[in-house]
């Protein structure tokens, strides 16, 4: 499918969505949110896709936030529609059964930072900058930043960022746990792809079960989380890949995972 504000490619089971509005540092307008929603749906329904990488075009920006020029013209009803669209696509991204890596190549501000937070983990270029600057616009984060950031880096560090609107460089973002790895700019996509390939080579049912167990467990207490893990483990055991993985270990060979979800 062709999009005008992003590119979506699929190669060897790895999908890449590149948000591309260079004239506005890849800021999210209504059309981008709409297209992102369609691209995520396209990926969710493609059984061949094992991992998704989300990035921005160019070296300057991942996504510099919501499109401020569009936002400034919103009527309350348009603002409501925009918020609904944004929250829906970000939740859909987080809920994808496959792993999603954010490859943050530059500014990840406001809605852009929130988009990265909805991914499973974040790889960053040395040139990346993170921030939730909404407070300096008289706003607060509206795409989940007040909820996902504290869960990831703890309430104090998150409140420092949210209440000041300060920007955090890639190295600092890595130190506080917002980013998993930092790369030289030209090595970012290669690094993301290498990790994507490792995950794509694992059992599909196991990837899905592990992601769901972590995400669902984070929304509950430890005892309930352990029950979730037990159920996910049992379901996983029923997959052909689990039988193949254990059999291959005992036969001292590499497993050949088919990704079949039953059988």
| Catalytic positions | 114, 134
User: According to CB under 6 A, which one of 135, 137, 157, 169 is a site residue for ligand DAK?
Assistant: 137
User: According to CB under 6 A, which one of 65, 99, 191, 203 is a site residue for ligand DAK?
Assistant: 65
Pick 79 or 237: Cβ nearer ligand DAK: 79
In 3D space, the residue among 172, 65, 58 whose CA is nearest the CA of residue 105 turns out to be 58
| Strand 121-125 versus strand 167-169 pairing type | unpaired
DSSP state of 180: S
Q: Is the C-alpha dihedral spanning 21, 49, 93, 171 positive or negative?
A: negative
Coil/strand/helix, residue 170: helix
Q: How far apart are CA 133 and CA 121, in angstroms?
A: 21
Rg (CA), the chain: 19
Pick 107 or 123: Cβ nearer ligand DAK: 107
Question: 124 with 146: CB under 8 angstroms?
Answer: no
If one asks whether residue 111 binds ligand DAK (CB under 6 A), the answer comes out as yes
User: According to CB under 6 A, which one of 3, 143, 183, 257 is a site residue for ligand DAK?
Assistant: 143
For residue 18 the two structure tokens come to 């590149």
Backbone φ and ψ of 167, nearest 5° = -95, 145
In 3D space, the residue among 165, 142, 162 whose CA is nearest the CA of residue 152 turns out to be 162
If one asks whether residue 56 binds ligand DAK (CB under 6 A), the answer comes out as no
If one asks whether residue 109 binds ligand DAK (CB under 6 A), the answer comes out as yes
Pick 164 or 220: Cβ nearer ligand DAK: 164
Stretch that binds ligand DAK, among 10-18, 34-42, 133-141, 239-247 (CB under 6 A): 133-141
> According to CB under 6 A, which residues from 66 to 95 bind ligand DAK?
66-69, 79, 83, 86
Pick 185 or 217: Cβ nearer ligand DAK: 185
Partners of residue 17 on adjacent β-strands: 8, 54
If one asks whether residue 31 binds ligand DAK (CB under 6 A), the answer comes out as no
Question: 130 with 194: CB under 8 angstroms?
Answer: no
Over the window 157 to 196, marking each residue x when it contacts ligand DAK by CB under 6 A and - when it does not, the resulting string is ----------------------------------------
For residue 79 the two structure tokens come to 């603002």
Stretch that binds ligand DAK, among 41-49, 62-70, 168-176, 246-254 (CB under 6 A): 62-70
Binding residues vs ligand DAK (CB under 6 A): 24-25, 27, 64-69, 79, 83, 86, 107, 109-111, 133-134, 137, 142-143
């Amino acid at each position: 499918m062709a999009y005008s504000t992003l590119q979506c490619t699929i190669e060897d089971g790895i999908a890449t969505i590149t948000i591309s509005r260079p004239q506005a540092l890849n800021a999210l307008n209504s059309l981008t949110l709409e297209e992102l929603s369609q691209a995520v749906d396209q990926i969710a329904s493609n059984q061949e896709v094992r991992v998704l990488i989300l990035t921005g075009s160019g070296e300057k920006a991942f996504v510099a936030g919501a499109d401020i020029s569009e936002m400034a013209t919103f009527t309350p009803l348009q603002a409501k529609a925009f918020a609904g669209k944004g929250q829906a696509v970000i939740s859909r991204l987080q809920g994808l059964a496959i792993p999603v890596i954010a490859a943050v190549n530059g500014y990840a501000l406001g809605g852009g930072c929130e988009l990265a937070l909805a991914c499973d983990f974040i790889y960053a270029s040395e040139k990346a900058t993170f921030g939730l600057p909404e407070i300096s616009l008289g706003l607060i984060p509206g795409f989940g930043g007040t909820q996902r950031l504290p869960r990831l880096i703890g309430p104090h560090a998150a409140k420092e960022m949210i209440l000041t609107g300060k920007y955090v460089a890639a190295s600092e973002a890595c130190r506080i746990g917002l980013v998993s790895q930092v790369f030289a700019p030209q090595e970012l996509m290669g690094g993301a792809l290498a990790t994507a390939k490792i995950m794509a080579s694992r059992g599909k049912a196991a990837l899905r079960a592990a992601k769901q167990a972590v995400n669902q467990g984070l929304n509950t207490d430890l005892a309930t989380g352990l029950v979730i893990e037990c159920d996910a483990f049992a379901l996983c055991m029923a997959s052909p890949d689990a039988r193949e993985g254990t059999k291959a270990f005992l036969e001292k060979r590499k497993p050949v995972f088919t990704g079949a979800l039953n059988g």
